[in-house]
Structure 1
């Protein structure tokens, strides 16, 4: 068995192993090549920081990773771990981390970050045995947006850039990796940012990925809440989405008002929950 970075691994090879690894996952799913490329670009996953387990030269397991510096800490995010069925039971996840952690330390990384589905007790225990600790519970929503009557007093305009400080002033909760300012600033190509204006000033915004039908961020100025800003933003997404289902992942459960808004006003369902886990290295 050999462990090395995925620097020289092709997307086609990774795609085959990715889909085989997740074919019997707690939530089975299958990616096309285009979807995998989009995921890696959207989450800023880096093959040079990612690690693979190779048996007789063939990839049989992987950890896809990205890197950011925040509050003086270099954080390494695990954007996906997979091992093909016949490679399980050999401790490959631990061995891949054993290989890559010294490499990450050389880059002055200090924190490992990942998300794991709440019901995946086997994975949770495995990560806890590796030293990861649960930091918070994240709620995932999906469904068809309830149609709302347009309010003429609220103007929805497309924004051209990520107004980091302005947007951040609207937040009650810190986004997870996929919705973080690091990933969305600048806004990735193909994403749409819509702003809500009840007057001259921006009072709320949403960042939406039409190809994935996913809302990555939505926030409303605390001084303009309960005035229909959020529903009008989702209404604008619904029109662009032609009424098809959308998803919004990893809402921190401490924001009860956000969860209630998404379920009661927007019509989305909390179909899945995840734990965000961290480990200091």
Structure 2
């Protein structure tokens, strides 16, 4: 008999989930040491966790392994998104991730067509495990971080106006988009975290010609775009500066930029961002 109990997670497991998350990611290449309040906000807001599709491995009363999942439409397909997988030290090497996914797949097949996740490219151990489970690589993302002080950025105020935006104007923003975001930054998913997002737009008369959405507390840029006919006029730089001055953390991040989005990558590098890490997007057919 296995020493582990595999079961769906529940809302009252949140404290244990937080403790296990910190243990599992204590040596992760990117700092993941969230306070409980931020972890809870991330799980219930940004991820909008589906407890019935999220599973834990328990040794006695202790949560030692987990997979956190959300459910939404992604690229026109009903998809489950893995917002966190971890096994704490001392319990690794027991094939817990495989056991968790075995239980998950029995429940998930009637809910969605696929499961997607992102994994850092240097995490070869995790990639190998995911591939054994049945995931395959389907996309490549670059992740950027600002490591410099931004100088004030100005626009011709007779031509352009920086103003507050809102999620209700997403249809206008989507008309400016030139690339698809990863699952967690789609507008459908962003709606669950709207209270923690700041919306800023650039207008030319009554016309929206650029926008940026960011989390002021963390400095994470969620989405941004500028009208293709008005690029290289300083609109994007001014929007990033607005995120910079409104964010508590000045080391802004812009993650999961598709590798093919060369214009966006070039813009971020020109502003002063650095390519910090890269991630694979992986997909499992259910």
TM-score higher than 0.5: yes
Deviations 1:22-64 (A, max 9, x none): 1122335311101101211112122222100011232110000
Match among 103, 108, 112 for residue 104 of structure 1:
108
Does the 8 A contact of 2:142 with 2:259 survive in 1? yes
* Counterpart-to-counterpart distance in 2, 1:95 and 1:203: 49
Q: 1:252 corresponds to which residue?
A: 258
Taking a change above 3 Å as real, the CA distance of residues 134 and 71 of structure 1, as seen in their structure-2 partners, is closer
* Counterpart-to-counterpart distance in 2, 1:218 and 1:162: 16
Deviations 1:204-241 (A, max 9, x none): 10001111211100011112212211111112112213
Q: 1:201 corresponds to which residue?
A: 207
CA RMSD of aligned residues (A): 1.7
Does the 8 A contact of 1:154 with 1:197 survive in 2? yes
- Please say if 1:178 is aligned against 2:181: no
* Counterpart-to-counterpart distance in 2, 1:269 and 1:259: 10
Taking a change above 3 Å as real, the CA distance of residues 145 and 170 of structure 1, as seen in their structure-2 partners, is farther
Taking a change above 3 Å as real, the CA distance of residues 134 and 122 of structure 1, as seen in their structure-2 partners, is same
Cα shift at 1:130: 1.2
1:42-191 superposed matches below 5 A: 42-70=46-74, 73-107=77-111, 109-143=112-146, 144=148, 146-151=150-155, 152=157, 153-185=159-191, 188-191=194-197
* Counterpart-to-counterpart distance in 2, 1:112 and 1:154: 42
* Counterpart-to-counterpart distance in 1, 2:27 and 2:67: 17
Match among 21, 24, 31 for residue 21 of structure 1:
24
* Counterpart-to-counterpart distance in 1, 2:258 and 2:191: 21
Structure 1: 5+ residue stretches without partners? none
Taking a change above 3 Å as real, the CA distance of residues 139 and 12 of structure 1, as seen in their structure-2 partners, is same
- Please say if 1:234 is aligned against 2:237: no
* Counterpart-to-counterpart distance in 2, 1:232 and 1:187: 24
Deviations 1:101-135 (A, max 9, x none): 1111132x110100000111111111111111111
Does the 8 A contact of 2:181 with 2:256 survive in 1? yes
Does the 8 A contact of 1:164 with 1:185 survive in 2? no
TM-score (norm 1): 0.93
Q: Aligned pair count? A: 279
* Counterpart-to-counterpart distance in 2, 1:148 and 1:261: 17
Structure 2: 5+ residue stretches without partners? none
Match among 249, 254, 279 for residue 274 of structure 1:
279
